[in-house]
Amino acid sequence: MRNTRRFRLQAAAGAGILAGLTGPIALTGAAQAAPTAKGDCQVTEITLHGSRPATHRCLRKEGTVTPNVSVVKCDNSRQLELFWDSPISAGGPVLCILGKGWLNLADGDQADGRNWNDKASAWRAGCSSGHFDENAGWSPGKQQYFDGGDGPSAPSGIFDGQQDHLANDTLTVVTLEKDC
pLDDT tens figures, 98-145: 999 999 999 888 888 899 999 999 999 999 999 999 999 888 899 999
What are the structural domain ranges in the chain?
2-176
CB 89 within 8 A of CB 83: yes
pLDDT tens figures, 28-87: 332 233 344 456 889 999 999 998 989 999 998 876 555 554 455 788 888 999 999 888
Length of the chain: 180
CB 21 within 8 A of CB 110: yes
24 pLDDT exceeds 90?
no
Find out if CATH 2.60.20.10 is the number for domain 2-176: yes
d(CA 118, CA 177): 22
Nearest C-alpha neighbor of 144 from the set 173, 108, 180, 178 = 173
